[in-house]
Amino acid sequence: MLEPFLSYHRKLVIAEEKVKFLENSDVVFNTVIQLLKKNGIHVWLDFGTLLGAYRDSDFIKNDFDMDFGAFGTDYDKIKTLMQENGFTSVREFFIAGHEYGRELTYRYKDVNFDFFFYYKKDDTDNLYTYTFSCPPNILLEKGIELPAIVAEIKTPCKGFTEMNFKNTIVQIPANTDEYLKANYGEGYMTPDPNFNYVTDSPNLTWYSQEEISAKCIIYN
């Protein structure tokens, strides 16, 4: 009986997160972007936030968090900046022994936002990053290292350009169409309410915990 209860509870949490997102997303977005700009940190719109900005000129309907891409070399700067400015640390994923295999989530005004850290590992235009998930049926305790499952994401990126989104100038990939097709498929310009990035994206290579040792720490 526990699993249906947890599923119901999760649906309630998501519904509440969506309400807070609608109320506060514009303020949170501009606060984060302006702080990063002020401190000379290069970030770009990523995943669902990029998709919404490029396709809909807004956040995706029913979305409840934000996604930012950054270079792995700025991980320490971003983490320090978030801590020094009072943002709530929600969770951190990382790959054991991997300098760039990380993902950070923070919260401000009840809105979560994620940082994905990219790096190059070959001479192509591709950037690499990772996304993570906790295995099913894991008790999500706070403050301890929990096992996580990881997927590698390989995305073509040919530099960056600017766009005006939410009344502020932001960075997006110069080849955004190609970038989004890699993540969401050829039909990304048509909204699909049933699309599940974890299972449907053509751009993910998932690994078992035996293949790559990944961890998660939940803070709030």
Please report the pLDDT score of residue 5 as a whole number: 36
CA angle 108, 109, 114 (to 5 degrees): 35
What is the C-alpha separation between 3 and 187, in angstroms, rounded? 34
Name the token pair of 91: 């969770």
Q: Can you tell me the distance from the alpha carbon of 142 to that of 208, in angstroms, rounded to the nearest whole number?
A: 23
In 100-167, where do the E strands start and end? 102-108, 111-118, 126-133, 145-156, 160-165
pLDDT-based confidence at 135, cuts 50/70/90? Answer: confident
pLDDT exceeds cutoff 90 at 18? no
Dihedral angle of Cα 154, 157, 160, 163, to the nearest 10 degrees: -70
Count of residues in the chain = 220
Cβ contacts of residue 142 below 8 Å, gap of 6+? 218, 219, 220
Name the CATH architecture for the domain at 2-218: 2-Layer Sandwich (3.30)
Contact partners, residue 99, CB within 8 Å, separation at least 6: 72, 119
Percent of the chain having pLDDT more than 90?
83
Q: Which residue, among 159, 179, 152, has the nearest Cα to 53 in the 3D structure? A: 179
Checking if the pLDDT of 13 tops 80, the result is: no
Instruction: Give yes or no for residue 154 having a pLDDT over 90.
Output: yes
**Using one digit for the tens of pLDDT, what is the confidence trace for 50-81?**
999 999 999 998 888 999 999 999 999 999 99
